[in-house]
Structure 1
Amino acid sequence: MRKGLANYGDAGFSLFLRKAFIKAMGYSDDALDRPIIGITNTYSGYNACHRNVPDIIEAIKRGVMLAGGLPIDFPTISMHEAFSHPTSMFTRNLMSMDVEEMVRAQPMDAVVLIGGCDKTVPALLMGAASADVPAILTVTGPMITGSHRGERLGACTDCRRLWGQHRGGSIGEEEIEEISGKLAPGPGTCMVMGTASTMALCAEAMGMMLPGGAAIPAVHADRLRHAEATGRRAVEMAAAETGVRPTEIMTKAAMRNAMRVLQAVGGSTNGVVHLAAIAGRLGFDLDMEDFDQMGRETPVLVDLKPTGQGYMEDLFKAGGLNAVLRNIAHLLETDCVTVSGRTLAEDIEAEPMWKQDVVRPLDNPIHSGGGIRLLRGNLAPNGAIIKQAAATASLLKHRGRAVVFTSLKDLAERVDSPDLDVKADDVLVLQNAGPKGAPGMPESGYLPIPKKLAAQGIKDMVRISDARMSGTAFGSIVLHVSPEAADGGPLGLVRDGDMVELDVEAGRLHLDVSDEELAERRKGWAPPPHEDVERGYKRLYFQQVLQAEHGCDFDFLRKHPLNTKSL
């Protein structure tokens, strides 16, 4: 109770006043003398991914009290991907600031972080890294699968596949409405290898979650048992002579393990942005060339959609992340310490293994050559990425004519026009959908196939943008082009008819336009206008947001800002 006292000029009075008011909650002196464990309450009536948070909190509290601590939950921002305008990425940094300040402001010896929907896990880890109070993460867990007319379904890879069929005319209005009630049959996060699943697995790999926690389904009793164990462990961390802090867990080596696992599980491209943001809070940058090399060395082993065919409950039944870690242990830095108090090597050996077919052996992967590849070229001087494991193999080396959409509004207005000049071998280019352009770098990189092509049975095309893509999506899609168009990047200079070359094997993204022509076009370039940028969070966002390679974090929140005069 003596930690971080409110300043009244009299420390004794500050403690007296604090105790007087906390006793209004009904706590005894005996309770208040125990280690205090904060618990982030990320429940929201808008957030189905977090529907089970109240049950998880109760289980954590049970574990804390069984270990002799006092659990106190407190609210934080909660974000759901489908209920955050303009995008949850826009408010991820705000949530991280909320977590950092509330953990720092309120007395707690350790904190349990409850994540779930896509941006909540990175926001929690970013905030925890900055506050650097002993912290441990648990997640709400993936949903169970649904069923439609005998077909197993899951959000949201099947959402996109079936919506594409609806756009192409093979599924009618009545059936698509029926399907919408089958895709998300319960609480929890998307049950494919989307961003939520990816970040849960990466967090476990980097040591911030107790072993086994990433894959347990939201409705499973093991989810509550894991939460109880998390509460117990939080008390042990708080009681340690020097509580293990996030900066001691999330080291460069631990982040390399997370990057390796991201490749091995065929994880979401969003994971790259989030890991970069977490790294920036810790004082270092991700080495994207190193990440690309990891991809060459680390095949995709997990048979889950969108790269494979299974769902997260299948990975849980196969042994969870440990089944992956055992296969790539020789590629990991296993002497890293985790929140369990053991090394990663000890965590791996402590979990049993059994025969299963969801996690493939190294000699029989789902995809070889890396799940995610780094691209560079005159169209992306600072880099771009592609999830090649979920792309059409024949399009990984492609040259095509650019069909340009200058904004999300332009895309919405013209992509389905019968008059759109587009062919199947063209390259769809979306500008001004990045961190500043959209704003918020929405998951709009999964450009829809123009309706007239979809009606012809075209299911994939090369698509390029400065936007993100949901981890549940699939296709030959180049993302995170940096610098973004709205920040003066070459992407904003592309015109209809320009020839674009993609060569994933060579890591190349090239615009076949001369430097002289690009310089001439730049003379007429201007950033896209935005409304309401003179006040509030939006003003802060536009002043501070960085590009994708730095995680789209705010510069002043990094341990070492890129521009020391940014505020």
Structure 2
Amino acid sequence: MELRSNQWYAGEDRNAYIHRAWMRRGVPDDAFRGRPQIAIANTASDLTPCNAHLTGVAQFVKNGILEAGGVPQELPVVSLGETNVRPTAMLWRNMAAMSTEEMLRANPIDGVVLLGGCDKTIPSLLMAAASVDIPAVVIPGGPMLNGTFRGAPLGCGTGVWKLSEEVRAGKLSQDDFTRSESAMIRSAGHCNTMGTASTMALVAEALGTIVPGIAGTPAADARLSEAAQLTGRLAVDLVKDGRTPSTFLTKGSFHNAIVALAAIGGSTNAVVHLLAIAGRLGIDLTVEDFDRIGARVPLLVDLQPAGRHLMEDLFRAGGLLAVLREVKDLLDPEALTITGRPLVDYLDAAEIFDREVISVRESPLQADAGIALLRGNLAPDGAIIKPAAATPDLLQHRGRALVFDSIEDFHERIDDPELDVDADSVMILRGCGPKGYPGMPEVSNMPLPTKLLEQGVRDMVRICDGRMSGTAYGTVVLHVAPEAAAGGPLALVRTGDWIVLDVAGRRLDVELSAEELAAREPSAAMTEAFANPQRGWERLYVDHVQQADTGADLDFLVGASGSEVPRESH
């Protein structure tokens, strides 16, 4: 076993002396002579409340590393809190991945345990690990415990969207809305709905980067600490075996992740994250794969926002492995996990303990639940929709466009009682893509006009080049590519144009000829609202970010650079 850290610590020259001396600080000499150095890339932060408990989890990882003969080295990395970071956490995902990649490469480490929870943390950590390609394993922070309000389950995020609309509709008092705040967040952990955080943990397990059976363990459950300690031991074994991401992650691994995404009714955000991770590995994954593989996968998990229950219930009911056992025939049987064994090997012992939460294959909640890819003259490079979260009657729809040129334009006009809108209108919000905002914010699930809420309307067709929260719901077409700021046809639509959505036919069109579209000019109000940063990360991001259909990574970060780093000279 040739340790990468020997490049720093082995030998008797001046550089090796400096490395050992500065790191020693009471550590015995044998810590630097032949023992694997395992980093713990920790996204804990008080400003990322969903990850704040990960420092405690890290201690159990350290225990496991020490037990297996390794040396733990905690490495704080960029932490992105979905609820706090402005203008949107997605703007910083690629920066978090890039900085973590550089720190993993630059430091004397042989392997890494990746601690993430909140939406962008697990994707950014996996992007970094894939690019460096050193042994890496994920420990997810876990969901918080179920919350309740007025006797009913209150899901993180989903409850906010529902209750805030009830306030706007005059059905819930402002005082009751405020009282629900303290009922929603009941414990440590990330969102307890099938939002992006829960989705990415479960999908990362299906991908093979988490020890099977761990994802979805609640943050407050002692079994997460046990899993963290055992994963710390495993990290040392990964180094000894030379098991890096490129040695076991294949196209089949992503196939399994897509099947899992559909079966659990996961967040649409998983599409851009999986595409970005695959891009770092050089695996040819496309948006078409999500439709081809996932479109006929049944929805088996009854969780908010598409259903009734919460993540604590899914864990109690049997967890991800019980879900995957029901669709075992749809999985790639050869795709390996971090343990070196195929994912399918872990399914036979799985069992459903509550069929209200996890349905059997023969009685799915929805027969065809995967992410649907739409194309047409409004989305030449594709757009996506999550049928499981949509109103069935709206999945085939024709309506007049109501266009908003920016988020500010939307907020200024949406509650205007004179707004020319009805339940059949198709609301279009543009300028919200990777370049336009920048960062592709979660605004696609636009709040409905107040005048319609008062009439009892609770869903409409909405189209946007941005994203939406995994905790959100509704008939929302999103990730439209190319985005308006990149010259996509969404920039040319006008209020009053007829829009046709046909999910079964996989179409999204505006009823205009190619000649008429080509003759139009983008509105000045829209182009003036596009992001135009002059410096810093935002400037770099706007200049280099790719479109949603390829994962919205930076063009110069696609692919791997390996773990080699030049030697320094002191």
TM-score normalised by length of structure 1: 0.95
In structure 2, the residue matched to 1:534 is 534
- Cα drift, residue 439 of structure 1: 1.0
1:149 and 1:355 map into 2 onto residues whose CA distance is 27
- Cα drift, residue 189 of structure 1: 1.0
The Cα offsets for residues 19-68 of structure 1, whole Å up to 9 and x where unpaired, read as 010013x2111223321110012111111111210110011011111111
The Cα offsets for residues 368-390 of structure 1, whole Å up to 9 and x where unpaired, read as 22232110000000000011111
In structure 2, the residue matched to 1:42 is 43
The Cα offsets for residues 460-479 of structure 1, whole Å up to 9 and x where unpaired, read as 00000001011111100000
2:86 and 2:156 map into 1 onto residues whose CA distance is 20
Q: 1:195 to 1:158 in 2, by over 3 A?
A: same
- Cα drift, residue 285 of structure 1: 3.4
In structure 2, the residue matched to 1:434 is 433
1:79 and 1:430 map into 2 onto residues whose CA distance is 25
Q: Secondary structure at the match of 1:74?
A: strand
- Cα drift, residue 2 of structure 1: 6.1
Q: 1:5 to 1:68 in 2, by over 3 A?
A: closer
In structure 1, the residue matched to 2:80 is 79
Mapping of residues 286-435 of structure 1, within 5 Å = 286-349=285-348, 351-357=349-355, 358-435=357-434
Q: Secondary structure at the match of 2:367?
A: coil
Q: 1:513 to 1:41 in 2, by over 3 A?
A: same
1:185 and 1:362 map into 2 onto residues whose CA distance is 33
1:560 and 1:16 map into 2 onto residues whose CA distance is 31
Tell me whether 1:260 sits opposite 2:262 in the alignment: no
Letter of the structure 1 residue corresponding to residue 48 of structure 2: N
Q: Secondary structure at the match of 1:368?
A: coil
In structure 1, the residue matched to 2:5 is 3
Q: Secondary structure at the match of 1:181?
A: helix
1:459 and 1:401 map into 2 onto residues whose CA distance is 18
The Cα offsets for residues 395-447 of structure 1, whole Å up to 9 and x where unpaired, read as 01100000000001101111111121111110000010111111110000010
In structure 1, the residue matched to 2:556 is 556
1:91 and 1:200 map into 2 onto residues whose CA distance is 19
Letter of the structure 2 residue corresponding to residue 456 of structure 1: Q
1:473 and 1:190 map into 2 onto residues whose CA distance is 12
Q: 1:439 to 1:190 in 2, by over 3 A?
A: same
Mapping of residues 105-184 of structure 1, within 5 Å = 105-184=106-185
2:292 and 2:7 map into 1 onto residues whose CA distance is 48
Q: Secondary structure at the match of 2:31?
A: helix
1:50 and 1:294 map into 2 onto residues whose CA distance is 32
In structure 2, the residue matched to 1:564 is none
Letter of the structure 1 residue corresponding to residue 221 of structure 2: H
- Cα drift, residue 524 of structure 1: 6.7
Indicate the larger mover: 471-480 or 160-169: 160-169
1:528 and 1:518 map into 2 onto residues whose CA distance is 20
Mapping of residues 452-491 of structure 1, within 5 Å = 452-491=451-490
- Cα drift, residue 170 of structure 1: 1.1
Checking the alignment, whether the CA contact within 8 Å between 1:430 and 1:465 is kept in structure 2 is yes
1:12 and 1:132 map into 2 onto residues whose CA distance is 28
Q: 1:218 to 1:423 in 2, by over 3 A?
A: same
Q: 1:549 to 1:2 in 2, by over 3 A?
A: closer
The Cα offsets for residues 297-334 of structure 1, whole Å up to 9 and x where unpaired, read as 21111111112211111111122110011111111112
1:183 and 1:197 map into 2 onto residues whose CA distance is 16
Q: Secondary structure at the match of 2:13?
A: helix
In structure 2, the residue matched to 1:278 is 277
1:530 and 1:464 map into 2 onto residues whose CA distance is 18
2:12 and 2:428 map into 1 onto residues whose CA distance is 60
In structure 1, the residue matched to 2:502 is 503
Letter of the structure 1 residue corresponding to residue 82 of structure 2: E
Q: 1:381 to 1:200 in 2, by over 3 A?
A: same
- Cα drift, residue 6 of structure 1: 7.0
Indicate the larger mover: 181-190 or 267-276: 181-190
Letter of the structure 2 residue corresponding to residue 536 of structure 1: G
- Cα drift, residue 550 of structure 1: 0.8
The Cα offsets for residues 172-228 of structure 1, whole Å up to 9 and x where unpaired, read as 111111111111112111111111111111110011001111110010001101111
1:231 and 1:418 map into 2 onto residues whose CA distance is 58
In structure 2, the residue matched to 1:565 is none
2:370 and 2:385 map into 1 onto residues whose CA distance is 8
2:4 and 2:252 map into 1 onto residues whose CA distance is 35
Letter of the structure 2 residue corresponding to residue 543 of structure 1: D
1:285 and 1:472 map into 2 onto residues whose CA distance is 29
2:522 and 2:83 map into 1 onto residues whose CA distance is 38
Tell me whether 1:547 sits opposite 2:547 in the alignment: yes
In structure 2, the residue matched to 1:226 is 227
Q: 1:96 to 1:2 in 2, by over 3 A?
A: closer
- Cα drift, residue 5 of structure 1: 5.1
The Cα offsets for residues 268-308 of structure 1, whole Å up to 9 and x where unpaired, read as 00001110111111113323223212233211111111122
- Cα drift, residue 11 of structure 1: 8.6
In structure 1, the residue matched to 2:564 is none
Q: Secondary structure at the match of 1:83?
A: coil
Checking the alignment, whether the CA contact within 8 Å between 1:5 and 1:14 is kept in structure 2 is no
1:200 and 1:405 map into 2 onto residues whose CA distance is 34
Checking the alignment, whether the CA contact within 8 Å between 2:5 and 2:37 is kept in structure 1 is no
Checking the alignment, whether the CA contact within 8 Å between 1:5 and 1:11 is kept in structure 2 is no
Letter of the structure 2 residue corresponding to residue 72 of structure 1: Q
The Cα offsets for residues 119-147 of structure 1, whole Å up to 9 and x where unpaired, read as 11110000000010100001110011112
2:409 and 2:284 map into 1 onto residues whose CA distance is 35
2:446 and 2:12 map into 1 onto residues whose CA distance is 58
1:383 and 1:236 map into 2 onto residues whose CA distance is 42
Letter of the structure 2 residue corresponding to residue 180 of structure 1: E
Query: How many aligned positions are there?
Result: 555
The Cα offsets for residues 467-513 of structure 1, whole Å up to 9 and x where unpaired, read as 10111111000000000011110001110100000010000101011
Letter of the structure 2 residue corresponding to residue 54 of structure 1: T
Q: 1:527 to 1:4 in 2, by over 3 A?
A: farther
1:433 and 1:265 map into 2 onto residues whose CA distance is 27
1:271 and 1:486 map into 2 onto residues whose CA distance is 23
Q: Secondary structure at the match of 2:463?
A: strand
CA RMSD of aligned residues (A): 1.8
1:529 and 1:390 map into 2 onto residues whose CA distance is 30
2:480 and 2:6 map into 1 onto residues whose CA distance is 43
- Cα drift, residue 354 of structure 1: 4.7
- Cα drift, residue 531 of structure 1: 6.1
Letter of the structure 2 residue corresponding to residue 379 of structure 1: L
Letter of the structure 2 residue corresponding to residue 298 of structure 1: V
Percent identical pairs in the alignment equals 47
Q: 1:407 to 1:6 in 2, by over 3 A?
A: farther
Letter of the structure 2 residue corresponding to residue 88 of structure 1: A
